[in-house]
Chain A
Amino acid sequence: MWELIRANRRRSLVLITSMVGVLVVFGYILGEAVAPGGGVIGVFGALVIWAVQMLVYFAAGESILLRSANATELDRDDSPRLFNIVEEMKIASGLEHMPKIYLIDEPTPNAFAVGRKPERAAVAVTTGLMHRLNRDELQGVVGHEIGHIKNRDVQFLTLAAVLLGSIVILANVFWQMMRTAGRSSSRSRSRGGGQGQALFLVLGLLFAVLAPVLAQLLYFACSRKREYLADASAAQYTRYPDGLASALHKLAAAQRGLNFDTKVTAPMFIVSPLEAMDGGGSLFSTHPPTAERVRILRSMAGAGLGDYEAAFRSAKGGALFPGAAAQTDPHAEKRPQSEEQQEGFALGQLRAMTHRLDGYVPVQCSCGLTTKVPMGYESNEVHCVRCGSVLAVPAVQARGEVPVLKEAPAAEQGPLQYTRQQPGWESFRCQCGYTLQLSPSFRGSHLTCRRCNRQIDIVPLAA
Chain B
Amino acid sequence: MAETLTHNHDEVDEKLWDGGAQPFKVSYGKLMMWYFLLSDAFTFAGFLIAYGTLRVSMPTWPVPDHVFSAFPGGLHHKPLYFVTLMTFILLFSSFTMVRAVQEGHRENKNGVVFWMILTIIGGLGFVGSQAWEWSTMIVEEHVGLTTNPFSAHTEAGIYLEGDGHDIKEGDTFVPGSPYLIHNHGGGFHHLKYKVTEGADSGLVKQQAFGPKQFGALFFFITGFHGFHVISGILFLIIICVNSATGLYVARKNGYEMVEKIGLYWHFVDLVWVFVFLVFYLV
> Do they bind each other?
no
- List residues of chain B with CB under 8 Å of any chain A CB: none
- List residues of chain A with CB under 8 Å of any chain B CB: none
